[in-house]
Homo-oligomer: A and B are copies of this chain.
């Protein structure tokens, strides 16, 4: 009986390991999300102070409760004709759905961010995407 149980546990462990292996080998498709990607162009693109202020502002902004995941970025070191690398800072925010993104738009933290930081940029482009 003990031996049978041990065999069973070993088989279970092997299945679990195989499952984990499969999971790590399968690329993970994000579904049922609302993708909000914002690109900022600074008024003073060479100002490290303004860059740091905007980054700090985005870190505060990212505390809005309906934001599931976020990334604060800058242009990567890639350069092809189709790549736009003229922006200063990018901000990717993932929401569970449009309602959560809508509530973020009027969240006091967002309104404070606009008040404190909107003087720093001269252009913003936003792409909002849902599952195709």
Contact = CB atoms under 8 A, between A and B. Distances in A.
Nearest to A39: B127
> Interface on chain A toward B: helix, strand, loop, or mixed SS?
strand
A36 to B, nearest CB: 8
Contacts of A68: 27-28
A53 interface: no
Contacts of A5: none
Contacts of A28: 68-70
Contact of A55 (B124, B125, B132): B132
A57 B127 CA distance: 21
A71 B27 contact: no
Given A71-B33, A98-B76, A124-B82, A62 B27 contact: yes
Interface of A: 25, 27-31, 33-35, 37, 39, 55, 62-65, 67-78, 80, 82-85, 87, 89-90, 92, 98, 101, 124-132
Given A74-B132, A76-B129, A90-B132, 7 more contacts: A28-B68, A28-B70, A29-B69, A29-B71, A34-B76, A90-B129, A92-B129
9 contacts: A27-B65, A29-B70, A39-B127, A72-B131, A72-B132, A77-B98, A78-B98, A83-B126, A92-B129
